[in-house]
Chains A and B, each alone.
Chain A
């Protein structure tokens, strides 16, 4: 499990008057000295009937939301084994599984607002849904999952939130790289990385390099990405090839541009199924070129509430249409 840190006012937390459970000395990311940490236990968000417990640390008078752990039957367990295979539900047929699923993970902020929590808590809860869908795709024979982790349009959000999101993203991936390598999960990142913090750029390069061999499944993370940016950078690549004498102007057509899109990092660049949560009915500048024949599934659930049942519903709907109307046009 990962840790994240964001100072939030005490009244915004769910800390009750429960006693301290431990006093430890810990070093935190970004801090250069050991500090006394008083850990409080509090009940947090209930997701799908499971109590999710948030440990909240008071450090020098500030409260930080710590890692979430799932609590089942009174025992707290850490989901280090999130990549253990989940059996395919009986209502799904393995031969009709989409090869490439894309997801717009929308609704973290609204979810948090509904629960009276800070936006950061929504993003943290959203990472649990993200882990679930990675596990299910990996388990059920889907070859590629592309998630819209951070849009170019999101840069207009408050700096505190964008920094938190990127930090959350960095820590989430960092904690899972070795596990992904062991399980044959290739991590790829698409998007304009020029605006990302140095540490994140370096982490991305390391994750891609570490996981590139013998993939059974590919996870594509769209970070600082937009569909228009992808087309423009593809056209720039084509122009460079013409300049370098590798292509003639007369040869340029849509297929040549397609080969330069950032989704050329995968054998299956065109999603068969796009899922968007939170009830929004738009693609919001995601994979514009690649979605020509993609089937859309818009679900009203907010992303932190999107789980196995909802994913099965999306896949069932896809498979029903495949049975009735066949594959791509």
Chain B
């Protein structure tokens, strides 16, 4: 047995002990230059699938990953797009992966669209005799409006950043209140062991959420 066999067995043990159920939704942010490496992105998704991570949101600022969508689905035959999944994506049966593709326009621009939608509805109501109340806008209204404009994905539990900079590069701000953010380094040097470690560390953490 050589070193690689030993490492492989160790990873196998760690993966088997993961409380993967704690990781309901994973986001992967990739720096747009590196996102062109579709084969590496697919390899990363295959690793995630193998350890039981079934719900993944892929983000890059410029929408490179969105353009690679078809290629990715051709290779990842057991994956479905989030638009195809009717039920709550974090509760579906783990027989397939769900992939969501997101870019910068789904972040701040989407919030602006959602706010616009609320304003339009409000003014329409006013025009037909209803009350005009700009204070009516609450967080819950924005949540609903974001769903309507197409931003259906939930808040990720964990966000992995592949790229040179430790930043989430404009991932939709409305979705990362309590998301754990881990910088993984360049996609060029991605390692299975680092991925397992990041997921393992996440599943060990106790979350306080303000208390």
Contacts and interface: CB of A to CB of B under 8 A. Distances in A.
Interface of A: 151, 153-154, 156-157, 226-229, 231-232, 235-236, 238-240, 242-243, 249, 252-254, 256-258, 281-285, 288-289, 291-297, 321, 324-325, 329
Contacts of B179: 282-283
13 contacts: A156-B211, A229-B139, A235-B137, A252-B115, A254-B111, A256-B112, A283-B179, A285-B177, A289-B173, A291-B173, A292-B170, A296-B183, A324-B164
A174 B112 CA distance: 39
Contacts of A242: 119, 123, 134
A289 B182 contact: no
Among A229, A258, A281, A296: residue with most chain B CB under 10 A: A281
Size range of the chain B interface in the assembly? 35 or more
Give chain A's interface secondary structure class.
Answer: helix
Contact of A321 (B120, B166, B176): B166
Contact of A295 (B167, B170, B173, B180): B167
B135 interface: yes
Contacts of B122: 239
Nearest to A154: B210
Contacts of B73: none
Contacts of B180: 281-282
Contacts of B111: 231, 235, 254, 257, 289
Nearest to A235: B115
Given A235-B137, A236-B137, A329 B169 contact: yes
Q: Specify which of A229, A235, A291 lies most central, judged by the most chain B CB atoms within 10 Å of its CB.
A: A235
Interface of B: 61, 107-109, 111-112, 115-116, 118-120, 122-123, 132, 134-135, 137-139, 142, 164-171, 173-174, 176-183, 209-211
Contact of B167 (A226, A240, A253, A294): A294
B211 A157 contact: yes
Nearest to A250: B116
Contacts of A258: 108
A156 B160 CA distance: 30
B151 to A, nearest CB: 14
Nearest to A226: B177
A292 B168 contact: yes
Q: List the 5 shortest-distance A-B pairs measured between CB atoms, nearest first.
A: A153-B210, A239-B134, A288-B173, A254-B108, A292-B170
A157 B142 contact: no
Nearest to A237: B134
Contact of B112 (A232, A236, A239, A257): A257
A153 B177 CA distance: 11
B120 A281 contact: no
Contact of B165 (A154, A283, A325): A325
Contacts of B210: 151, 153-154, 156-157, 284
A151 B209 CA distance: 10
Nearest to A252: B116
Contacts of A324: 164
A230 B210 CA distance: 17
A154 B208 CA distance: 10
Contact of A232 (B120, B123, B137, B178): B137
B134 A321 contact: no
